[in-house]
Amino acid sequence: MRKKWPVCALLMVLCMVMLCRIPAYAAEARASDRIYHSTATLSKASNGDLSICFSVRGTGKMNVIGASSVAIQRSTITGWVTEYTFTPSNAPTIQAESKFQHSAVLTYSPLFTGKEYRAVVMIYVEDATGTSTQQLISRVA
Residues near another protein (CB under 8 A): 9, 12, 15-16, 19-20, 22-23, 26-41, 43-47, 51-53, 55, 57, 59-61, 91, 93-94, 99-107, 130-139
Q: How far is CA 10 from the centre of its chain?
A: 42
Q: Considering only CA atoms, which of 52, 111, 105, 102 is closest in space to residue 76?
A: 111
Minimal distance in Å, beta carbon 120 to another protein?
Answer: 9
Residue 21 or 115 with smaller CB distance to another protein: 21
Assess contact for 42 and 141: CB atoms under 8 A: yes
Minimal distance in Å, beta carbon 54 to another protein?
Answer: 9
C-alpha 56/C-alpha 40 separation (Å) is 9
Residue 13 or 111 with smaller CB distance to another protein: 13
Q: DSSP code of 139?
A: P
Minimal distance in Å, beta carbon 100 to another protein?
Answer: 4
